[in-house]
Structure 1
Amino acid sequence: MKTFFAFIQKEFRHVLRDKRSLVILFGLPVVMMILFGFALSSEVKNSNVAILDYAQDDASRLLIDRIDQSQYFSVHQKLHSEAEIEQVFRKGQVRLVVIFPQHFQQDLLHSNHVQVRLVGDASDPNTSNIVINYASSIFRDYQNELSNNKKLPYSIETETRMLYNPQLKSSYNFVPGVMTLILMLLGAMMTSVSIVKEKEMGTMEILLVSPMRPLLVVLSKAIPYMVLCFIDVVIILLLAVFLLEMPIRGSLFLLLAESLLFILTTLSLGLLVSSVVDSQQTAMFFSLVGFLMPALVFSGFMFPIENMPLPLRIMSNIVPTKWYYSIVRAIMVKGLGFSYVIKQTLILVGMTVFFLGIAIRKFKIRLA
């Protein structure tokens, strides 16, 4: 065992001397967390709005002021006719046009019914839908003020309650997703590249003729990346809690244990890649295209799996990131325990054993 630990120590020194690897291992998680946390968000704020006010009365002016004072909108300009609507959308100047009809206040107070038109730029349907919902809530609040929150006859009201994330913070979605992508990319790519690098340089032959068994030689190269990826998990969690103010509602120990299991899964994939390719470029291409793209598409982080065709939904079950992403969300966001993630855990264990078994069988003791 002394020889095995000496090999591990040697690999740690190799990794720590490689500045480019250190930048990728520790710089990438920090950059992605900051980028997703502050630059990318599902919230839509400061959207430019154009107003077409046929009424020009106190009620319409009050609502225009409320729209402008909202954190989600900024009144960009006022239109004079409906012919100008398409023109401002073509120029990309606004996301929404609000049209107040004539006699807006009079109809609202006397007939209790008036229609305000909201015209959105549906070239980006998701953003347009969000912006229209924001504007609709402003009008609903004003209507409730006029009626003193009294229920009207035969009215149907809906009460909305958001569990686990009442403020709809985007960090509750992307933190588990970023953890999944980073561990898949670093664990698989760095492990496969490091072993293939030994093959290209011709030093793998020297390692294989050493007194230690070839399998232990390969494992000694994977263990440092397991430790470094685990440190990445700790860094991501610290950034999530203290920088993005995202709580960890479940067991921290369980979350770290599941993360370690997923790291082992990614390392087994990296060992499998290293056993079938002979160049670093091929290993990197295989890791980026073969692992990162499926991880991004089939994890459920960016695209809902439920909306995919049946063949793609079936295919997503063989992608490890789907199960780890589900585990992290269950523990961090919902605060669930181990009994709720047993299925996903067993699937990851089975995948790890399967990938590692194939990697061992395909590993070539003789390189020539």
Structure 2
Amino acid sequence: MKQFLSFVKKEFYHIFRDHRTMFILLGMPVVQIIIFGFALTNEVKNSRIAVLDMAKDEASASLINELEASRYFEIEKYLLSYQEVEAEFKTGRIHMAVILPQNFSSDLLHLNTAQVQLIADASDPNMANTLTNYASAIIMDYLERITDGRKLPYTIKTEYRMLYNPQMKGAYNFVPGVMAMVLMLVCTMMTAITIVREKETGTMEVLLVSPVQPLKIVVAKAVPYMLLSMVNIATILLLSVFVLDVPINGSLLLLVLESILFTLTSLAFGLFISSVTNSQQTAMFISLTGMFLPTIMLSGFMFPIENMPGILQYISNVVPAKWYYIIVRSVMIKGTGLATVWKETLILFGMLLFLLFMSIKTFKIRLA
């Protein structure tokens, strides 16, 4: 045991002496959680719009003020004619135009109905759909307020309720995904590279002829990354709660235990890569293409899996990050317990056992 701890201590020295590795291990998680939490979000705020108010009355001015007062829209320009709309879109300065007809106020007062035209730039269909939905909600809220609750003939009222994330914050979606990405980066890629580096420099031969068993040597090199991953988990959770205002609604203990399980699975995959490769470039390439990119593309936190072709949906089932993302989202955001995520937990545990078996099976105690 003393020899094993000495190898672990040696590996910590290697990590702490390499400042670039330290930045990747401890600095990148902070950078990623801040970027994904604030910059990369599916929320749309302060979108530039143009307004063509042909009515120029009290009702149209009130509605325009409602749009401008929201955090979603910023009026870039007031148009004077309908012909200016397309020209303004071509400049790329606006994402949506709001057209209020000349008889807006009179139609609203006498006919109990009025038309508002929303023209959006659908070169980005997701943004166009989101902006029109935002504007429609503001218009309906304005209409309900000015009618003073009176029930108009054949009026259908739709009530929306957003569970778990009523403010529709993008951080609620990205934090679980960033946790999976960070743990995959630290555990899989760094573990694979550090062991293969020993092969390239020739020091692995020295380690293998030492009194310590070869399997213990490999495990000793993985232990520091396991401990550093726990630091990263704590950092991400603290930033999520105190910086991004993402609550932990479920059991913190369950969330930590599930994170440890995913970390062990990622470490096992890194050990498997190191056992079948002999160069750092190859290990990095396999780590990126085999796990890191699938984590981004096929885990479900960037793109909905349900919208993918059937073949990609089947392939996503072999990506550990998909199941971990479901677990974190269920425990952290929805506040559910083990009774809800037991299936995903068993799948991750099965992947861990399979990767450990493959790592031991393919590990070579002789390099020549």
TM-score (norm 1): 0.98
Q: Which residue of 2 aligns with 1:94?
A: 94
Partner AA of 2:273 in structure 1: V
Q: Which residue of 1 aligns with 2:196?
A: 196
Quick check: 2:38–2:171 contact (8 Å CA) kept in 1? no
User: Structure 2: which 5+ runs fail to align?
Assistant: none
SS at match of 1:141: helix
Cα distance in 2 between the residues matched to 1:48 and 1:258:
43
- 1:151 deviation in Å? 2.6
- In 2, the alpha carbon distance for the partners of 1:163 and 1:62 equals 31
**Distance in 1 between residues matched to 2:68 and 2:254, nearest whole Å:** 46
1:224 is matched with 224
3-state SS of paired residue (2:83)? helix
Say whether residues 1:215 and 2:215 are aligned partners. yes
Shift of 1:17: 1.6
In the alignment, is residue 367 of structure 1 matched against residue 367 of structure 2?
yes
Q: Which moved more, 1:199-208 or 1:286-295?
A: 286-295
Provide the rounded CA distance (Å) in 2 between the counterparts of 1:358 and 1:263: 17
Q: Does the residue aligned with 2:318 lie in a helix, a strand or coil?
A: coil
Distance across 2 between alignment mates of 1:167 and 1:264: 34
**2:283 counterpart of 1:283:** yes
Structure 2 counterpart of 1:154:
154
Moved over 3 A (4+): none
Q: CA deviation at 1:29?
A: 0.3
Paired with 1:150 and 1:333, the residues of 2 have a C-alpha distance of 38
CA contact (8 A) 2:48 2:96 kept: yes
Deviates more, 1:115-124 or 1:11-20: 11-20
Question: How far, CA to CA, are the matches of 1:327 and 1:25 in structure 2?
Answer: 23
Residues in 2 aligned to 1:154 and 1:62: alpha-carbon distance in whole angstroms: 25
1:48 Cα deviation after fit: 1.4
For residue 97 of structure 1, report the CA deviation from its aligned partner: 0.6
Q: CA shift at 1:152, angstroms?
A: 2.4
Does the 8 Å CA contact 2:67/2:138 hold for their aligned counterparts?
yes
Question: 2 CA distance for matches of 1:146 and 1:239?
Answer: 42
1:37 match: 37
Most deviating of 145-154 and 179-188: 145-154
Pairing 1:179-328 to 2, within 5 Å after superposition: 179-328=179-328
Letter in 1 for 2:52: L
Percent identical: 56
- For residues 65 and 246 of structure 1, the distance between their equivalents in structure 2, rounded to whole angstroms, comes to 31
Alignment size in residue pairs: 368
Q: What residue in structure 2 maps to residue 18 of structure 1? A: 18
Per-residue deviation at 1:260? Answer: 0.4
Match of 2:7 in 1: 7
Is the contact made by 2:181 and 2:292 (CA closer than 8 Å) also made in structure 1?
yes
- Trace 1:60-75 onto structure 2 (pairs within 5 A): 60-75=60-75
| Aligned residue in 2 for 1:353 | 353
Q: Give the Å deviation of 1:78.
A: 1.7
Deviation readout 1:231-251 (Å, 9 max, x if unpaired)? 110110111111112111111
Q: Secondary structure at the match of 1:317?
A: helix
> Mean Cα displacement is larger for which, 79-88 or 111-120?
79-88
Q: Shift of residue 319 of structure 1?
A: 0.5
Distance in 2 (CA, whole Å) between partners of 1:235 and 1:339 is 27
Given residue 79 of structure 1, which amino acid in structure 2 is its aligned partner?
L
SS in 1 for 2:84: helix
Q: How far, CA to CA, are the matches of 2:36 and 2:30 in structure 1?
A: 10
Shift in Å, 1:286: 1.3
| Corresponding residue SS for 1:150 | coil
**1:64, CA displacement in angstroms?**
1.7
Cα distance in 2 for partners of 1:243, 1:66 equals: 29
Taking the aligned partners of 2:61 and 2:239, their CA distance within structure 1 comes to 44
How far is 1:153 from its partner?
3.0
TM-score (norm 2): 0.98
Shift of 1:38: 2.2
1:69 CA drift (Å): 2.4
In the other structure, the counterpart of 2:118 is 118
Cα displacement (A) at 1:211: 1.1
Secondary structure of the residue aligned to 2:51 is strand
Give distance in 2, aligned partners of 1:334 and 1:108.
Answer: 42
